[in-house]
Structure 1
Amino acid sequence: MSRPSLNDLTAFVAVATHRSFRRAADEMGMAPSTLSHAMRALEERMGVRLLNRTTRSVLPTEAGFQLLGRLQPALTSLDEALDSVAGFRGNVAGTVRINAPRLAAGFIVREILPQMAERHPDVTVDIVVDGQFVDIVSRGFDAGLRLFESIPKDMITVPLRHPLAFVCVASPAYLDRFGEPKTPDELQRHHCIGHRMPSGKLYRWEFERAGQELMIGTNGPVVLDDEELMVDAAIKGLGIAYVADWAAEPALFDGRLRKVLAPWMHAPEDVAIYYPGHRAVPLALRAFLDVVKEFRRN
């Protein structure tokens, strides 16, 4: 049996991970038919079926799963070995394309980009703000930023230092006028600032206490699709807002807003940068991840 090429093995990992010739072909920069032909040639060369194909899906065989499990760490080690000598070539250069919701994009701009600009001036960080969860591979992104629990299991994650919590907030003037709700049910008697999700649906506020979970539909004078605007509306006394603590933190710190219903809020959730683990990590992305990891340690 002739030894398969590194390109063929990398292509197999992409197909077996995505379980789709189309998505793997997009990643590899080739036509799906060309990739399918390359996989058949690989199977013939190895003398074993690696992929079960149907009109709708591609699934590794038992032999394919075994090969995939061995190849993924081997390819990762190879990438790390090549990157270890990259510094001898000079400065890292290139573009890192990142998909993130607006609030997380703001975090990157404030906390990560100053260090990136100082250490890697030849790297461009291209951030696309998108409230909807997208397939970063098929859309051509190097990485994404989302709540940890929503990230696909086949991605490699780098958690941020600060987890994300949601808070209910209102201005002191509003609370002086209308009082402070003690339970989520009391929100029905309050002005609430609505949150329209990227899908177009209104977000139902989520609460939890002692194992009891509640989802509350709210009414109020304004509906917005941007958390920073929700914070501004709450500061102006338009009502109670349900927002990420990242958005409300400055106004909470200087007293323009106060928390309400704190005992009913969910525990903080981890937020992470994520990227595909089955392909080579570009040097520019690796430099960006190193800055994120250092920020997390400090």
Structure 2
Amino acid sequence: MKQNFTVRQGALDGVEVFLSVAEHRSFRGAAAALGVTPSAVSQAVRVLEARIGATLFIRTTRSVGLTEAGERFLARAKPAFEELVAASEVARGLGERPSGLLRLSVPRAVVPILLEPLIASFCEANPEVEVEISASKELIDLAAEGFDAGIRLGQFVAADMVAVPLTAPFRFVVVGSPGYFVARNRPEHIDDLRTHACIRWRRSGGALALWSFNDNGQPIEVAVTGPFIASDFLGMLGAANAGIGLAQLPEPMAAEGLRTGKLVRVLDAYAPMIPGVFLYYPSRRQIMPKLRAFIDHVKSRTAITQNGH
């Protein structure tokens, strides 16, 4: 049978006073150690004894001793109170300086391109912080899953989140390998995609993502078809490099392939601009120092990148 347990208000009141009296075997000694008056110590002990329902000390004019109940209470209360004090110190340390475990939920694609250099410099600057990266395409509930922050494309960040830009806005571009175009014409209009093999990706909710375009300021979404469906942008990039078909990708992901000639860009006139990649977290209030340090590090590194230094 399920029972309901509650901690009575004030259940720990007087315990520290009791432990001090037990240690010093003196009400005056305990008062001096705690910085209070002997009468305050006596009152705290009386209230504790009344709440417990047993006498804890044997008092005489010359000495103070423990009753059997007091001895048993001391045996359990002392290690428990010391553990509570130690727990408070640990929590206080996390609240005073950057330390502890920083958990980040991120898309797999940003880890090698964006996050690895950022994490390396952050860890070097903050040796007391451990960083854990959970690479996933799912848009998770940060608080419910125990994450400090997440990283996502700007359009996927909820409006009630605080967002810090990691990159400048960039375009979504359509790319394919030179080998793919050996036997095919390059598409010149959005409608031309109907005759092309398009690499698609399935969102975390299960739906296939539409391709987005901008036609003279008018946003357009197109349902494309093709032989391959990936679970994320990295899978799409790999399929495009292999010549399976065309892929629509964030421009920074395709930059290396475009630079080396492994990829060719098409439909450039219709490429839509997106806000970029953002670090996001639930609230400006009660930010732990480890997250504040990471946010400051992100801002400083972003500023350096944007200034070209």
TM-score between both structures, scaled by the size of structure 1: 0.66
Find out whether 1:289 has 2:295 as its counterpart: yes
1:271 paired with 2:277, answer yes
1:183 and 2:185 aligned: no
* Cα offsets for 1:182-235 (capped at 9, x unmatched): 011101111111212222222121111113332222222211112122112111
Q: CA deviation at 1:108?
A: 4.5
Structure having the higher Rg: 2
Q: Deviations over 1:17-37 (max 9, x none)?
A: xxxxxxxxxxxxxxxx99xxx
2:219 is matched with 213
What is the CA distance between 1:145 and its match in structure 2? Answer: 1.4
Q: Is the 2:108–2:234 Cα contact (8 Å) retained in structure 1?
A: no
- 2: CA distance between counterparts of 1:136 and 1:116? 21
Render the CA deviation track for 1:110-133: whole Å, top value 9, x for unaligned: 231110121112211111122122
Q: Please name the residue that 2:12 is paired with.
A: none
What is the correspondence of 1:1-298 to structure 2 with a 5 Å cutoff? Answer: 86=96, 92-298=98-304
Residue pair 2:199, 2:244 contacting (<8 A) in 1 also:
yes
Whether the 8 Å CA contact 1:161–1:297 is kept in 2: the answer is no
TM-score normalised over the length of structure 2? 0.63
Change (3 A) 1:181 1:99: same
Q: Is the 8 A contact 2:201 2:231 kept in 1?
A: yes
Judge conservation of contact 1:161–1:295 (CA < 8 Å) in 2: no
The number of residues matched between the two structures is 216
Deviations 1:75-110 (A, max 9, x none): xxxxxxx99x956xxxx3211111122223444532
Q: Unmatched 5+ residue regions in structure 2? A: 1-5, 8-91, 305-309
RMSD: 2.6
Q: CA deviation at 1:251?
A: 0.9
Aligned partners of 2:127, 2:114: CA distance in 1, in Å?
Answer: 16
**Structure 1 stretches (4+) deviating beyond 4 angstroms?**
none
Flag structure 1 segments of 5+ consecutive residues without an equivalent.
1-32, 35-81
- Say which is worse superposed, 284-293 or 159-168, in terms of deviation: 159-168
Aligned to 1:69: none
Per the TM alignment, residue 276 of structure 1 is displaced from its structure 2 partner at its CA by 2.4
Identity rate, percent:
32
CA distance in 1, matches of 2:159, 2:235: 33
SS in 1 for 2:262: coil
